Amino acid sequence: MSDTKTLTSAITKFITTTGEDALEGEHLRLARRCVLDGLAVSLGGSQQPGMAPLGRYILTLGGAKQGRPLGAAGHSLPAHLAALWTGTAGHAMDWDDTQLAEGPGRPYGLLMHPTMPPLAASLALVDLVAQETGKPVSGAQFLSAFATGFEVGCKIAEAINPDHYMRGFHTSGTIGAFAATAAAAKMLGLDEEQTARAIGIAASCSAGIRANFGTMTKPFHVGRAAENGVTAALMARVGFSANTEALDGKWGYLTIAGPGGEPELVRDRIGAPFTMVTPGVSIKPYPSGVLTHPSMDAMKFLMEEKGIKPEDIESVLLSAGSNVLGPIRFRIARTELEGKFSFAFLLAAIALKGRCGKDEFTDEFVSSPESIAMQERIETEFSQEIEDMGWDRIRSRIRITTSDGTVHERWADEAYRGSPHNPLSDAELEGKFADNASGLLSAERQQAVFDFVWSLEKAEDASVLHELLDWNALDQVGA
C-alpha cells in the first residue's frame, strides 16, 4: 500500500487494529440492539414472497458447506450464498435500521441501512471460521466484526457526495458492500494488505439502483452487498489482486460514483466517534422507508387524540418537502412491495388497523377493497413552506377532513419514534422482534434469543444464534 494516507488506508488500519475491547459502554449497548433488530427483520423477512424464488435459486447451486442462512440451520451453503440469503431477508420488509447523516448537505435519513450488510456477512462466516480455527467464534469476536463493518459503512456513506443517492444509487447496496467487506475481513483476520485488496475488489462489485424500488430486487441489493463483502474478503485472502486505494485514489469509488466526495470529513474520524453512538441510528417502528415514519405516527396519534374512526374519514392530505415525497413512487399500491413506497397505503393501514407491521404488509391486505378505498381518499402535496425549512429533519403535516366537514391537523414530530432523539425502548424492540417471529418461533424461543443477545459479548459460541432462529425456512421455498 502507498504511504499516503488515503481513506482506504485509514479504513484498513481501523479494521486490522481495532480490538474487541473498543466495543464498550453505550457503543456495546447499541450494538446489541442493532443485532437484535437485524435478527428480527431477517427472521420476518425470510417469509416474504421474494425469498422463495431466491431460495430455489440458491438450492440449485450446491457447493461447499461453509455457512448457514438465517432461519435455516439445517442447510449449510457456500458462505457468500448464506450471506446473500440473510442480507436479502433482512431488507425484504424495509424494516431494518437507518443511519443518520451529519455532514453538511446530506439529506436527513438518506444515507444507508447500516446493520444488515455487516450482520449478514458476520453470520455467514461464523461456521467457516470455527471450522478453520478449531474453536467457536465468541460473541465478543462476532460483535466486534459486526460493529467494525457498521462503522466503516457509515463513514464511507458520509464521505460520498449525497448526489450518489439523489441520482439513483441505492446506498445500502453500494456502500453496504464495503460494510460487509470490513466485517468479513475482521471475521477472517485479514492483514492490512489483504484488507485493502478486499476493499478494492468490493469497489468493483458495489451496485444497486433505485429504479428497482418496489420490487424483489430492492432487498436483493442488500443481500448482494453482504454476498459481495464475503466474496471480496475470501478472494483477497487467497491472493486475488486489486487496487489498494480504491476509495479515494485516482478513478476510485468516491470519484466515479458520487461524483466526488469528501474523504477528509471522515478520514481521521473512523471510530472517533463511532457513528452508531453519534449521531446515532434509527431503529424503525414500521417496515417502510424511515422518511415515511413521522407522517405515519402523526396520522396514528391524530386519530387517537381526536377519536377518529376509519369510517369518519372523508379525505387525508399529507404536505411535505421533496426529501420526503421524492422517494415515494406509487400513488395507489396494489402489492406489499409497492406499499412500502406509497403514502396512500401507509396512511391507509394506520387509518384502518391503527398499526402497520408484518401482518399488514401482505399482497392480500394491500390490494383489499377496504385498503384501495381508503388509499383513494389520501393525497400528498409538495409544500414549499416545508421545503424552505430545510432537510435537517423529516418534516410533514397531516390534515384529516371528516365526513362532517371538520378538519383536524397535526405536524409530524421532528424527534420521530425510533430516532436517537426518541428511541424505541428495549421492550418495544423485543415487541418488534415478537411481531417478526410470530408464527415462526415459540415465546420460549423468543425469550432465549433475548437472553442470548442482551449478553452476546459474554457468549462462548455466536453460532448458537443459528439454532435459536431456525424455522426451516429453506424447506418452505418449494420446488
pLDDT tens, residue by residue, 349-402: 999 999 998 889 999 999 999 999 999 999 999 999 999 998 777 899 999 999
Cell of 1: 500500500
More confident call, 31 vs 109: 31
d(CA 75, CA 69): 7
Q: What is the pLDDT of residues 88-130, one digit of tens each?
A: 999 999 999 999 887 666 655 557 999 999 999 999 999 999 9
pLDDT of 5 higher than 70: yes
d(CA 446, CA 49): 23
Cell of 258: 458520487
Q: What is the pLDDT of residues 397-420, one digit of tens each?
A: 999 999 999 999 999 976 688 989
pLDDT in the model for residue 432: 96
- Per-residue CA distances from 98 to 30, 91, 109, 258, 291 (Å): 13, 11, 7, 20, 10
Which domains does the chain show, CATH number per domain? 7-284+449-476 (1.10.4100.10), 290-411 (3.30.1330.120)
d(CA 357, CA 343): 15
pLDDT of 265 higher than 60: yes
b/e string for 247-271 if b means 16 or more Cβ within 10 A?
bbbeebbbbebbeebbbebbbebbb
Give the mean model confidence (pLDDT) for residues 238-266: 91
> If we measure between CA atoms, which residue out of 21, 32, 46, 144 comes closest to residue 97?
32
Q: What is the pLDDT of residues 304-331, one digit of tens each?
A: 999 999 999 999 999 999 988 988 889 9
Sheet harboring 313-320: ordered strands across? Answer: 378-382, 313-320, 396-402, 407-411
Q: What is the pLDDT of residues 415-441, one digit of tens each?
A: 688 989 899 999 999 999 999 999 999
d(CA 192, CA 15): 8
In the chain, what percentage of residues exceed pLDDT 90? Answer: 83
- Per-residue CA distances from 273 to 11, 25, 151, 418 (Å): 14, 13, 10, 21
pLDDT in the model for residue 114: 97
- Confidence bin at 2 (pLDDT 50/70/90): very low
Burial class (CB in 10 A: 0-12, 13-18, 19+), 355: middle
Torsion, CA 436, CA 438, CA 442, CA 447, rounded to 10: 40
Give the mean model confidence (pLDDT) for residues 296-306: 95
Q: What is the pLDDT of residues 171-188, one digit of tens each?
A: 999 999 999 999 999 999
pLDDT in the model for residue 213: 86
Instruction: Say if CB 95 and CB 218 are below 8 A apart.
Output: no
- DSSP category for residue 77: B
Which residues are bridge partners to 259 per DSSP?
Answer: none
Q: What does the angle CA 401 – CA 407 – CA 409 come to, to the nearest 5 degrees?
A: 105
d(CA 340, CA 323): 16
